[in-house]
Structure 1
């Protein structure tokens, strides 16, 4: 929740000063409107001047001295306000159909559970403010049918339809904008051609993929899922390469045959091209649409319109797609359910995984959560029987799980990042013509630029963080706020010209590998090297075609990708997370290493994972060697049960930031006293502390954590507490946020 308003009112139906109307009598119709403002409010407006407006439509309203677009939410019989303060609507956007009631219910759930302003949730979850018609003109493509070819010669010479068919014959495919440019009467003519069956939508055509023969585990899992006729939550827990995607596709196939829609969610945009290609190949005649935040507004509006109208059979997207209306929804599939990318940590805070589960229950459809390394929250639900637990214990086909070996860097010292066992393993793969993936989850050349003479280190002026050296273009960059600058020629503190980069990132590993193995074809993949989706797909295809020998990559390559030629995965710098302050650090590290290790040995050749570590005796590595997720998870659950940490306890975090630290500390201290005054039993309110990264993007940050072993008790505190916070007068420039079920504390 974001609040930078100097003062707010208590009632959610009370508008801010300046919203008064001059009306003398109560309006005949009162409409509640959700506005994109950081206030827990629906605002009352007089809709009598717009009798055709419906809940779910975008409406324009006066707000203070300006006007805003909002979403009509519902009707009211009366208001707590003086009638003279209720102002009339300005206008209504009827270019899109109203957002349906179950969409508004979903937004209300998110606003209530996560205590986020309902208007901001609605603005985030709604489609872009662009008409679906404009989006379709920009993106929908058409082609002439065989019937159109046959009918065209019989049409009058000056018939616009004949002209459109001729243009389609010449070009093969055209979009609506290109067709409309041919004639001012192209719109009606195109509708006529579609109705006659002489023109059709040009759906993407991919090489058809046939269904694979199911393993016994896959068949058993699919049979259980096919038995669901209403809401059921299933955890599909399968080792890497076990064929979870094939189970998803079979389930989606059932939905298409039954005339229902499927929602397929993935954690990152980088995973959508590969999965999109596979889904399109399996269902070449289905209407498949993609939705994520990096799409243009027009493309997103088109996908949204296809989903809401029921035209889309399959909607593939990232966390944003969980809000798309699907009137024929038959199932929800959430792949890599453990991934923290499903959590929105800026702006409106929410977990797309948990929202998807609530939506499945609300709309009475089954949901499948898939992962090789399930989150401990989902695993506990499966253990307790709240989720059905479906296991895929072996890889599909002849492929075996890779062998995991540890390289003790106390014995085999690493030179330029590589130990001798790692170098020999790479050499053997190169000799056999096999591929190697070197994984380090740090981009750039070196994480620190420092002076060995005086100890100066290049730090970000806007964050309490070091600047990362990027040697390719000789720049220093902050990976937190984006600030950057040139590399100095000498130490700015003592003048020493021998300043050096310490530590290593992907660029430095790439440089070392190029020097050690000059004959090898080398590719680096990270957020600095990938330029757009097309370039990303091109690089992935190069790996799959065997045009690369050595790949250096970050977590972009850790999950979801199938590279049959990779037989060795080498992990550099795995120890950094072992003793991190975040109690989830080991869970994340285990998942990350198991996922990236799963890229090895997915083809005909056996796979191997080499992990360089100075702590080979750590229990996490023993579990990795044995592919023992169950044992690792059990130990983590037992540890957290003793400490009352999630999933055996529940948390919320209140944070504040300001240009200086003291106002943030003062606000949070007042909030702490307000929470204690509510005297909710079983709730622990901790002291106010600065965040681990105190300064970020020129703002000083602090936090307050609240815990309880009972979710109902925590909820009993949350609502009245947040209501009290809105009454506090804030220092100038201070903002605060509440994060329910935070992923980092």
Structure 2
């Protein structure tokens, strides 16, 4: 090993790997997956030994020696090494940056925490499955013997969580490990309680509210087989388990599983890769599966198990439209909606009002001259926050005092449109004696606030709940009988080919929360477009029936999941530099041998044309041939590097994009 070359990945935004000699006078034998302290420019940084070779393209005199090898045994095991390599190639992302995403910050700093054993204990509180759950469970057990992922397609309230727990117990009793992914931090407390109450203190948490050190402890304990279960959000997919037996992806359709910056990976898609490479089982659960997963089930790539019955034999909720053209609303809420809330309150039941928009109002403008308050750094309006008296940009950190007078003509400022804060205000005016809880990113910024808010909601102490999609994901509110969509048109007529799919998922998820525990449920939808065909279909059809109709539009227009796509973005203070870069890329693609099988859209200005003072542009590649799309992606990066096109812009490639803004 003395003359070996260590190929080390360092956290830099370049695609190359760096060659070093092993440290001089060290007794530690270099192995792939170890951390190493290396000289890098004027600094010393921690990198990862990604490979070991006998030669280098660099002259021997230019190759430096490592300062030290930090680990006796590899921190990155074989499975994690394979996943990082796959990620780097599939998402066309620098290897060092891929490691930086996959490994907790505490470990990347060269530190190693002490860990303790937290292993599975035999279940003391095993619940008996209902007949429809038992049938689905048996189906999953049978299908887990195959290598294909299982899509557990079950309506809201059908008892998917209990099936997960039974599957987990089967795996844990064989001394294998489980990875359980959820899309939102807000879902972890209830699942943590459910798992630990049944299987003991064997769960490690990994999400943004846990400390760097505790994340590292859980990560390392799973690798050393001293922890039975990891429960966490998307980054948990990179945990290097010792003996992984099962992966559960709850609410698999949720967009939160897709990272939107840096390494733009999909945790759901990586779970498929991880399960295949490790040979473990994979269950993807949802009441509203993504179109990608449904198509994979149709093609036989996934096995599918359906749950069409609910645990509590409640009748389907009644669904009604409130035509806002005939029932005006001052601050977003109509008279029929108020009457329905009052009826629920008289019966001691809860109401949930859904609006997927934070803040008080999305637009603040002058009543006289019409000037709209805009962010000086972004191409977007400032959002009004009445509670703090601030106007804030949701794309950057800019904020300012709202004020009451227009700076141009001294006219009076007014707010247009409504967010969760304005809806909460109107509810408090109408129902001053009731406990009203607002749940959105602003009111649940800390773990303590989040637990407190959901505690009031689930106990039934808060009789009126208002919030964003955080309220609709996987929560069980036993006393909820009314769900109201404040602004259906906002979701139904959103931009992008995925807008109808997203709104349908929100609608079926939210409406499925009410009318459980034998309560009669009511779903109200406020709209200015009561005759809209898509809206009528939502009211009258199941999610699967809606999917069957909607998927034909996707197929006809050749949008995913019937095609594959790359989105290449560029930004710079100079619009000229942005489009010089994108035009060169477009020209390269047009001259490519694969152009006949690829559709090129753009270059165009991004939907949000300026963020943080940077002009933004993008182009999109679409193809039915995934292999050719990735081949041109690889050549594209080589072309950018060779021509040094990226020196005046910040650019990125988003593979399988879900957000086109």
Q: Write the distance in 2 (CA, Å) between the matches of 1:364 and 1:104.
A: 16
Q: Which of 64, 77, 86 matches 2:41?
A: 64
Q: Aligned-pair distance for 1:576?
A: 1.3
Alpha-carbon offset, residue 48 of structure 1: 5.6
CA distance in 1, matches of 2:560, 2:73: 42
Q: Do residues 353 (structure 1) and 328 (structure 2) align?
A: no
Over alpha carbons, which structure has the higher Rg?
A: 1
Alignment partner of 1:546 is 2:523: no
**What is the CA–CA distance in structure 2 between the aligned matches of 1:417 and 1:71, rounded to whole Å?**
54
Does the alignment pair 1:697 with 2:620? no
Matches of 2:473 and 2:136 in 1, distance apart?
22
Q: Secondary structure at the match of 2:482?
A: strand
Indicate whether 1:229 and 2:131 are aligned.
no
Deviation of 1:133 (Å): 8.6
Match of 2:489 among 575, 585, 601: 575
Closer/same/farther in 2, CA of residues 132 and 622 from structure 1, 3 Å limit: farther
Counterpart in the other structure of 2:448: 534
Q: Aligned with 2:510: secondary structure?
A: helix
Query: Partners in 2 of 1:536 and 1:206 — Cα distance?
Result: 31
- Runs of 5+ unmatched residues, structure 2: none
Alignment correspondent of 2:177: 261
Structure 1 contact 394–400 (Cα < 8 Å) conserved: no
Cα displacement (A) at 1:641: 0.9
Q: 1:482 aligns with which of 397, 402, 408?
A: 397
Q: Provide the residue aligned with 1:412 in structure 2.
A: 327
Question: What is the CA-CA distance between 1:504 and the residue it aligns to?
Answer: 0.8
2:163 equivalent in structure 1? 247
Residue of structure 1 equivalent to 2:31: 54
Aligned equivalents of 2:480, 2:334: Cα separation in 1: 20
Distance 2:79 2:445 in 1: 38
Cα drift, residue 481 of structure 1? 1.0
CA 1:204–1:519: 2 relative to 1, 3 Å: farther
Equivalent position of 1:665 in the other structure: 579
Residues 403 and 625, structure 1, Cα contact 8 Å, conserved in 2: no
1:619-638 aligned at under 5 Å gives the runs: 619-638=533-552
1:35-434 pair list within 5 angstroms: 35-47=10-22, 49=24, 50-52=26-28, 53-94=30-71, 97-130=74-107, 135-136=113-114, 209-216=125-132, 218-227=133-142, 228-229=144-145, 231-284=147-200, 287-434=202-349
Length, aligned pairs only:
655
2:319–2:524: 8 Å Cα contact kept in structure 1?
yes
In structure 2, C-alpha distance between the alignment counterparts of 1:205 and 1:507, rounded to whole Å: 45
| Cα separation, 2, equivalents of 1:531 and 1:357 | 31
Match of 1:468 in 2: 383
Structure 1 residue 259: deviation in Å?
Answer: 1.0
The 2-side partners of 1:315 and 1:738 are apart by 30
CA contact (8 A) 1:310 1:328 kept: yes
CA apart distance, 1:202: 8.7
User: Among residues 550, 555, 558, which one is paired with 1:644 in the alignment?
Assistant: 558
- Matched residue of 1:395: which SS? coil
Separation in 1, partners of 2:499, 2:4: 54
Contact 2:137–2:163 (8 Å) recurs in 1: yes
C-alpha distance 487-328 of structure 1, shift in aligned 2 (>3 A)? same
Question: TM-score, normalising length from structure 1?
Answer: 0.85
Question: For 1:638 and 1:40, how far apart are their aligned partners in 2?
Answer: 40
CA contact (8 A) 2:16 2:95 kept: yes
Could you report, residue by residue, the CA deviation over 1:358-404 in whole angstroms, capped at 9, with x for unpaired residues? Answer: 11011111211111111101000111111111100121132333222
- Give the Å deviation of 1:67: 2.4
Distance 1:95 1:485 in 2: 53
Cα distance between partner residues in 1 of 2:122 and 2:363? 46
CA RMSD of aligned residues (A): 2.1
- Which digits, 9 at most, give the CA deviation of each residue in 1:196-225, with x for residues without a partner? xxxxx7999999643143232x22221122
User: What CA distance in whole angstroms lies between the structure 1 residues aligned with 2:167 and 2:206?
Assistant: 21
For 1:524, the equivalent position in structure 2 comes to 438
**Aligned partner of 2:407 among 492, 495, 506:** 492
1:400-448 Cα offsets, whole Å, 9 max, x none, are 3322221121222223212222111111011111111111111111111
Contact 1:27/1:48 (8 A) holds in 2: no
Deviates more, 1:728-737 or 1:442-451: 728-737
Match of residue 610 from structure 1: 524
Query: Equivalents in 2 of 1:307, 1:721: separation in Å?
Result: 38
Whether the aligned pair in 2 keeps the contact of 1:261 and 1:331 (CA below 8 Å) is yes
Deviation at residue 277 of structure 1 after TM alignment: 1.3
Q: CA deviation at 1:732?
A: 5.5
Residue 355 of structure 2: aligned partner: 440
User: Which segment is superposed worse, 544-553 or 325-334?
Assistant: 544-553
Task: Report the alpha carbon displacement of residue 643 of structure 1 after superposing the two structures with TM.
Answer: 1.0
Residue matched to 1:718? 633
- Alpha-carbon contact 1:288-1:316 (below 8 Å) kept: yes
- Residues 564 and 604, structure 1, Cα contact 8 Å, conserved in 2: no
In the alignment, which residue of structure 2 is the partner of 1:14? Answer: none
Say if 1:467 and 1:476, in contact at 8 Å, map to a contact too. yes
Tell me how far 1:602 sits from its aligned partner: 2.0
The TM-score, its normalising length taken from structure 2, stands at 0.95
Match of 2:480 in 1: 566
Q: Distance in 2 between matches of 1:657 and 1:370?
A: 37
Deviations 1:522-574 (A, max 9, x none): 12111222241122112211122221111111111111111101100111011
Per-residue Cα deviation, 1:256-284 (whole angstroms, up to 9, x for no partner):
11111011111111211121111112222
After superposition, what is the alpha-carbon deviation per residue over 1:280-320, rounded to whole angstroms, capped at 9, x for unaligned?
Answer: 12222x51111113321111011111111111111111110
Given that 2:118 and 2:227 are in contact with CA atoms closer than 8 Å, whether structure 1 keeps it comes out as: no
Q: Note the C-alpha offset of 1:709.
A: 1.7
* Structure 1 residues 480 and 133: CA distance shift in structure 2, 3 A: closer
Deviates more, 1:249-258 or 1:85-94: 85-94
| Alpha-carbon distance in 2 for matches of 1:290, 1:429 | 37
Aligned residue for 2:106, secondary structure, equals coil
Contact 1:46–1:86 (Cα < 8 Å) also in 2: yes
